[in-house]
Structure 1
Amino acid sequence: MPAGQVFIRNIEASCRHHHGAPRGWWRPRRAAAHRAASLRLCLGFTAALAFPSWPAAQPLPADAATRASEIQRRQEQELDAQRARAAERPDVLSAPPAVPGEGPLVFPEESPCFTIAQVVWDGSPPPAALRRNVNTVLGQCIGGQGLRVLQEHLMARLIDRGQITARVLVPEQSLASGTLTLRYVPGRISGVKSDGAPGWWRTALPTWPGGEVNQRDLDQALENIRRLGGQADASIDVAPGPELGDSDIIIKPGTGKRWHAYLGGDNAGMESTGKNQVNAGLTLDSPLFLYDQLSVSWNSNADLRNSDAGSRAASVNYSIPFGYWTLFAGASKSRYRQTVAGFDEPIVYGGTSKQVEAGVSVVPYRGASYKGTAMLKFLRKRANSTLNDIDIEVQRRDVVGYEFSYGHRHYIDQMVLDVGGGVRGTLPQFSDQPGYVYGDPDWNGRSTILTANAGLYLPFKVAGQQMAYQVNWQIQHAKTPIVPADYFTIGNRYAVRGFDGQMTLAAEDGWTLRNDLSLDLGELLRAPGHQGYAGLDVGRVGGPSAMWLSGRTLAGAVIGLRGRAALPGAANAVSASYDVSAGWPLQKPESLKTASPVFAATLMFEF
């Protein structure tokens, strides 16, 4: 039997099981008719989701069912944006100070000088890299000036490695024997002071008393602290300790409050569930005094009284740092409801999605101008769809999955370069119901999706005006069959702007290229924090399901204003951020309908 027929029979069996004839002679005829209609609707709904290319003469319009998948994807994008907002942290990368001895080691010609045959270290053993650096002196003829040059060079290498308090000493000695004696004094932490700090310093600082002072560790600690909104102006000082080479670490807490809230709105919703959306959130800094963070967020369609259509989503996220590591956990729930014309009466589609996740992120390396990040998390997602408030079994999912990602950020003068990649997938051995995929009725529930990204931010000036160019590239490739909820989508404000997002292109694979050119309007408006921008985006989808699309490529343009300002009379306690734009589609298939121009607006008040 062809695969398509097998899949259809699975659909029919499930629909008849849940929507078949009424049980018991006492059921009224109206209920029986309602269930019979629901059976026809279930068949049409699930078939439309599975076979979006079927003609519109099927029991239900395919576009209505397809919108259900798009609504779920849109809610996933919004929840991902909320998670990213909760996980934001500033970069703290301290460049080493300019010190003598930088550059290649060149000994001056002097007299008298002595040829060095061996180097002996007195006291604590030095780092291996320092030993290799000092070996360049072997065979060289050096005197008093050469010793000073060597000492400055070794000190510069220590500072470049972040060892800002370590020292290399040259004791009094005779070089006539050809032996050079050096003394390494490690810079150690004698104590940590954090009076008035909102958290326990041991969770933020990667090293403790007795360990060596390293600027990389201090940068990481400051990132852990400043990721809390009220600690944006926190700082860390290093003061001399009681013994030679010892230092005290002094944590100076920030001056902000320990809670933050926002309330906002936008017009990014689907027309079928409410185009105008409202959102709100609350974040608590260090609720357990561990430099941890707890955030909750909520968003909904603006018309809260509309019982025929709407969408809701809520999430809670918690994270706690442990030096270079961060543990995090989160949970979210979203649901939607839309009503369309049916055979005898309006049809109500609905859906609910719940997700819990937990994971760990780590900074495996960092330098004065770069750092790497890695993240691994596991999640469980449960989703179901309803038709006239009756579950559609073939649309139910209960999946356990994973996600791993890696990223590298590099500062090159004013330019910022980001590259990264990742993989996510499902674990069918732990999943109860992985769902169904088109064209593969025997799918084992295992999915694997590869992702990659790259970005560039380049500020510059033209005629004295501050400008910036930013480009971001993203790609997804599905190595296995995947469910529609995991498709790569283009044609909304998250991917390829210039489209209203009511219809999109979605398939297993895809990529986007987003370009922004911005102009700082601070001098023109006599108020900092405002930008004008223009954007040009392009994207393409591919994969097995893309054969049903009339086109695979979208391109769009956008111009807009964005900014942030404190409200007058609020003593900087309340600020408003905004983003308003107009966009136009530049390339699309004829079958994809969209407004032109597209007006997008976002407004948020932060407390």
Structure 2
Amino acid sequence: MKQTKTGWLAVATALGIATSSAIATPARDTRQDMDHLERQRQQEQIQKEIERERAFSEQHRAVTPAPDAKEQPLQNKATFLVSHIQLLGDDSPSAEAKAILAAYEGKTMGAAEIMAVVRDLTNHYIERGYVTTVVTVHPGTLKSGTLTLEVKWGTIKDMTRNGKPVDGIRDTLRLFGAMPFAEGARLNLQDIDQAVDNLVRGGGNDKIRIVPGDEVGSSVLDVTGEDPKLLNFGIGVNNSGREVEGWNQYSTNFGINNVLGLNDSISAYYAQQDFKDSANSQRIGSVNYSLPIGYWTFDASWYGSQYEKMIDGYFGRYASDGTSQRLNLKLSRVLHRDAQGKTSGYMKFANRSNTNGIEGTQTSINSKRYSEVGAGVTHVGTLANGWLYADLGVNFGVPWMGGAWRSDPDLAGFDTDFTKFNGMATWTRPFKVGNVDFVYDVGTGFQYSPNTLVTDARLSIGDEYTVRGFKDTAFYGDSGAYLSNTLRLPLRANVLGGIEVAPFVGYDGGVVKNYAPGSKPEYVMGAAVGFRFSGKYLTSSLSYGWPIASPAQSQTLARALNYRLDLRY
């Protein structure tokens, strides 16, 4: 494809095309489709994260093995003034442990008081996940005014599979990826939770039992469950296209679990638009890979789209074509986890590239590559009797991997060295009114940037995952925010392995604003009603939305009828 530096306007003039908005439509459609697919995948991952944490909260605390060693109470009734309590075995005691010791120092202590401090310290370690750790008393130092305690850590002797020694390279790799270098390590429930999390990510349904070992203080972690499901496959249809061009989009997807034996997974998605005009075509796809190792996870994703469309001009119809690609790399680490959830930190890199052209002439201004790096934190856990997923991060434009930079003459007036702050949150809370179950869902997100951004870096709203009620239209801004509210009524039907039918009603709002001087905020509001169906073999939805408020448009906004049917195995 020949490239020109004159941009869209020169091409439009040469071909006699009516308006710039007409020739921008294919590229805009591609951006909307890519955003929609990426947000869909993001929501799927968020729901999986929430479901895993909910399962941990409900199940793993039922396993609370008693310590192997129990202290015998002191037989004499003597008391001693204890001016100092020495703690052995814990080189870095927590602030809470120090506070427990300080509360007993300087007091006269007998058998009951000594057992009380031992109990309080043992409970402290259990609360921190060290459920097989005990605290013992060293005799013979009380007369000098010093009470000596020792932390005897519970340790992991070995890991087994369904009660048997691990046999085979794949099981060995799976357990290593779930909990690297476990043998001899201190036993902690948070580490076990993380191991189960990793095993489930790899397609398993595993649980871990804590079995007492042959030696005092040691335990064996027995991983129970069936072998991971190797393949997933699905087909689907949705109406993400434009009604005038052809609504239906047909898709297929497949996934492979435990690819390298390390609880990793890879999935691929492909969809093709069914246009009324056979001269038009549009394809979109994605590949996602995830590799968890202990508390670390590496994620990589690629999204791509390619289109060929005929557009109308003054002197006839002209062929337009283009491609878009997005590459995302992310390295995250769990910083803290407990019975209420987990908090992770991450670093990421993203690269976006676009090519657009008319009649074989590539337009420079719309054919660019952009790169950015970012860092942030995520949290998933309980909040106000519901479940929360939240993400807060900062991103910076960089010239890496051919990313456009400040010296690009086509981008005068845009800040490719931008800084932008992004955040999003999803909160789900079930509740009852009488004997009727309801679920309230809230989704929100924001972006703030003190820079003038290219379209690829701007926030877009006006779809099923931000502000519903809009179709074929998106609103962009350097900064903005949205709030989505949904009330669901989940009902169960015992067919096809159990299907949940959930009628819902939603009301959303959002705002976008550009950084340019004189730019005013644009407010959008919309509503939707519909049904969602979910089960073992299918996921489906049908909704009807309508705009309530939006910026002035040159054409009437289409009401949003959205349907989706996905079958999977």
Verify same fold: TM over 0.5: yes
Q: Following TM superposition, by how much is the alpha carbon of 1:97 offset from its aligned partner in structure 2, in angstroms? A: 7.5
Q: Which runs of 5+ in 2 are unaligned?
A: 67-75
How far, CA to CA, are the matches of 1:258 and 1:590 in structure 2? 51
Are the counterparts in 2 of residues 272 and 339 from structure 1 also a CA contact under 8 Å? Answer: no
Q: What letter corresponds to residue 170 of structure 1 in structure 2?
A: V
Output the CA distance in 1 between the equivalents of 2:372 and 2:193.
Answer: 33
Match of 2:251 in 1: 279
Question: Residue 546 of structure 2 aligns to which amino acid in structure 1?
Answer: W
1:546 and 1:604 map into 2 onto residues whose CA distance is 46
- The equivalences for 1:311-326 within 5 A come to 311-326=282-297
Per-residue CA deviations over 1:332-387 (Å, capped at 9, x if unaligned) read: 32112332221222123221012334331111222221321222222333211011
DSSP-derived class of the 1:268 partner: coil
Which deviations, in whole Å up to 9, do the C-alpha atoms of 1:7-27 show, x marking residues without a partner? xxxxx97249xxxxxxxxxxx
Specify which of 438, 442, 453 is matched with residue 424 of structure 2.
Answer: 453
The residue aligned with 1:516 is 486
In structure 2, C-alpha distance between the alignment counterparts of 1:300 and 1:322, rounded to whole Å: 35
Match of 2:108 in 1: 141
Q: 1:157 aligns with which of 102, 112, 124?
A: 124
Q: How many residues align?
A: 541
**Inter-partner Cα distance in structure 1 for 2:321 and 2:517:** 26
User: What one-letter code is carried by the residue in structure 2 that aligns with 1:421?
Assistant: L
Specify the structure having the higher radius of gyration (Cα).
Answer: 1
Pairwise CA distance, 1:540:
1.0
1:166 aligns with 2:128: no
Partner residue, 2:72: none
How far apart in 1 are the matches of 2:411 and 2:366?
Answer: 15
- 557, 563, 567: which is aligned to 1:601? 563
SS at match of 1:77: helix
Cα distance change of structure 1 residues 594 and 219 upon mapping to structure 2, 3 Å threshold:
farther
Structure 1 residue runs of 5 or longer lacking an equivalent are 1-11, 17-37, 46-57, 101-109, 567-574
RMSD: 3.4
CA distance in structure 2 between the aligned counterparts of 1:407 and 1:124, rounded to whole angstroms: 30
What is residue 73 of structure 2 aligned with on the other side? none
In the TM superposition, what is the alpha-carbon distance from 1:282 to its structure 2 partner? Answer: 1.0
Q: Aligned match of 2:30 in 65, 72, 78?
A: 72
Matched with 2:224 is 252
- Cα 1:13–1:335 change in 2 (3 A) is closer
Q: Which residue of 2 aligns with 1:396?
A: 367
Task: Give the % identical residues.
Answer: 23
- Cα deviation, residue 598, structure 1: 2.8
**In structure 2, what is the equivalent of residue 537 of structure 1?**
508
CA distance 1:273–1:351, shift in 2 (3 Å):
farther
Give the AA of the match of 2:357: T
Kindly indicate whether the alpha-carbon contact (under 8 Å) linking 1:427 and 1:446 is maintained by their aligned counterparts in 2.
yes
Q: TM-score, normalised by structure 1?
A: 0.80
Matched, 1:553 2:523: yes
The SS at the match of 2:336 is: coil
The Cα offsets for residues 222-248 of structure 1, whole Å up to 9 and x where unpaired, read as: 1111123x31x2111111122211111
Matched with 1:292 is: 264
Q: Does structure 2 conserve the Cα–Cα contact (< 8 Å) formed by 1:385 and 1:391?
A: yes
> The residue matched to 2:367 in structure 1 has which SS?
strand
**1:249-398 mapped onto 2 (5 Å cutoff):** 249-254=221-226, 256-271=228-243, 274-303=246-275, 306-398=277-369
| Partners of 1:359 and 1:376 within 8 A in 2 | yes
Q: Which structure shows the bigger proportion of residues in strand conformation? A: 2
**Superposition map of 1:467-482 within 5 A:** 467-482=438-453
Asked if 2 retains the 8 angstrom alpha-carbon contact of 1:122 and 1:184, the reply is: yes
Look up the equivalent residue of 2:160 and give its one-letter code: K
Correspondence for 2:386 among 402, 405, 415? 415
- Once the two structures are overlaid, the 10-residue window that deviates more, 472-481 or 306-315, is 306-315
Distance 1:277 1:380, change over 3 A: same
Q: Write the letter of the residue equivalent to 2:149.
A: L
Partner residue, 1:23: none
* Amino acid of the structure 1 residue aligned with 2:28: E
Deviation at 1:284, TM superposition (A): 0.6
Q: 1:505 to 1:150 in 2, by over 3 A?
A: same
Query: 1:226 aligns to what?
Result: 200
Asked whether the 8 Å contact 1:164–1:213 carries over to 2, the reply is yes
Deviation at 1:451, TM superposition (A): 0.9
Distance 1:441 1:200, change over 3 A: same
Structure 1 match to 2:70: none
Give, in whole Å, the separation in 2 of the partners of 1:539 and 1:546: 21
CA contact (8 A) 2:473 2:557 kept: no
1:109-128 Cα distance to aligned partner (Å, 9 max, x none): x9764332222345675734
- SS across alignment from 2:101: helix
| Alignment partner of 1:183 out of 141, 150, 155 | 150
CA distance in 2, matches of 1:143, 1:373: 45
1:372-414 Cα distance to aligned partner (Å, 9 max, x none): 1222222333211011232122322123332333222331463
464-473 or 144-153, larger mean C-alpha shift: 144-153
Whether the aligned pair in 2 keeps the contact of 1:394 and 1:436 (CA below 8 Å) is no
1:248/1:533 Cα in 2 relative to 1: closer, same or farther (>3 Å)? same
**Structure 1 residue 593, shift from structure 2 partner:** 4.4
